[in-house]
A and B are shown apart, each in its own frame.
Chain A
Amino acid sequence: MLPLSLLRTAQNHPMLVELKNGETYNGHLVSCDNWMNINLREVICTSRDGDKFWRMPECYIRGSTIKYLRIPDEVIDMVKEETVTKNKQSRDQKGGRGGQNQRNRPAARGNFGGRANKPGGQQKLFQKNKPTKLA
């Protein structure tokens, strides 16, 4: 999961954006692009020293002026869930293809052919391939 993909996942979530000049913008992310340009809604802008505030219904921030973005903790959990479901989908697909192979060339399974038909055996095989990293 690349940083910009995470940002895309954070759409419709509240976030804090600090610019290189020290100003911060609090708002909900509407959209973002590959250059990190972003649109925010319901924004509160805070001056560098934190002593002045401005409220605006929406704003656009050019990506190159951003220092960092802070996003809520739950966004990373959404990524985890997404990765798990994605992997599950691709796993199911692979499983289907595997089944076909088994039917087409039963001899190819050789010594392991018997084992693969047991529900337990196949499950174990897939658990080994389960990804642990977010990336």
Chain B
Amino acid sequence: MNKIELEGTAHLLDELDKKLMVLLRDGRTLIGYLRSVDQFANLVLHKTIERIHVGKEYGDIPRGIFIVRGENVVLLGEIDIDREDKLPLTEISVDDVLDAQRKEQELHIEKQRLISKALKERGLQMNADLVQDDLY
């Protein structure tokens, strides 16, 4: 480790050329090799995949090179290559995972509908447009 700890985004320089998982504000997960960063924590990800998780299953979609604008990143962390293939999750095909994701979203929407209906009956109105589906 560096003896002198660098401030703020300068820590990211330690992660260059490592395999990282990046979580975006919209909830998406990207996994790729960090090739470059700047003072805004804009990232260049190489050989990127988008990983979609549904329950204990996941699917990977190859996406190539990303330039991610820093402000959209929630967190990022190095992937331990040695432990990567011992995941307690099962990989399924992209089609299956997209299907599962769609079903999950439909369930979520239905749940929200029931909640807002129940609230309405008790005299509380929830404006669907004001409810952010942005996770953070």
- Interface contacts (Cβ under 8 Å), in number, total 63
Interface magnitude class on chain A: 20 to 34
Bound Cα distance from A3 to B12, whole angstroms: 13
CB neighbours of A125 from chain B (8 A): none
Q: Which residue of A lies closest to B67 (CB)?
A: A69
B21 to chain A, nearest CB (A): 15
A116 to chain B, nearest CB (A): 33
Bound Cα distance from A63 to B42, whole angstroms: 12
Asked whether B68 is an interface residue with its Cβ less than 8 Å from the other chain, the reply is yes
CB pair B69–A36 under 8 Å, yes or no, is yes
Q: Which residue of A lies closest to B70 (CB)?
A: A3
Count chain A CB atoms within 10 A of each CB in B24, B35, B67 and give the residue with the most: B67
CB pair B24–A67 under 8 Å, yes or no, is yes
CB pair A3–B24 under 8 Å, yes or no, is no
CB pair A76–B66 under 8 Å, yes or no, is no
Given A22-B26, A67-B72, also A3-B65 (CB < 8 A) = no
CB neighbours of B51 from chain A (8 A): none
Interface size on B, residues (CB 8 A): 21
Asked whether A71 is an interface residue with its Cβ less than 8 Å from the other chain, the reply is yes
CB pair A3–B63 under 8 Å, yes or no, is no
Q: Which residue of A lies closest to B68 (CB)?
A: A68
The digit string for A112-135, where 1 denotes a CB below 8 A from any CB of B, is 000000000000000000000111
B9 to chain A, nearest CB (A): 12
CB neighbours of B17 from chain A (8 A): 133
CB within 8 Å of A: which of B32-71? 35-38, 42-44, 46, 63-69
Count chain A CB atoms within 10 A of each CB in B25, B37, B65, B72 and give the residue with the most: B65
CB pair A3–B38 under 8 Å, yes or no, is yes
Bound Cα distance from A75 to B69, whole angstroms: 18
Q: Which residue of B lies closest to A63 (CB)?
A: B69
CB neighbours of B67 from chain A (8 A): 3, 6-7, 68-71
A11 to chain B, nearest CB (A): 13
Q: Which residue of B lies closest to A2 (CB)?
A: B38
Q: Which of B36, B63, B72 contacts A6 (CB 8 A)?
A: B36
CB pair A69–B66 under 8 Å, yes or no, is yes
CB within 8 Å of B: which of A31-72? 36, 63, 66-72
- By a beta-carbon cutoff of 8 Å, the part of chain B in contact with chain A is 16-17, 24-26, 35-38, 42-44, 46, 63-69, 72
Which 9 residue pairs are nearest across A and B when measured between Cβ atoms? A3-B42, A68-B68, A69-B67, A2-B38, A67-B72, A3-B44, A71-B65, A3-B67, A66-B69
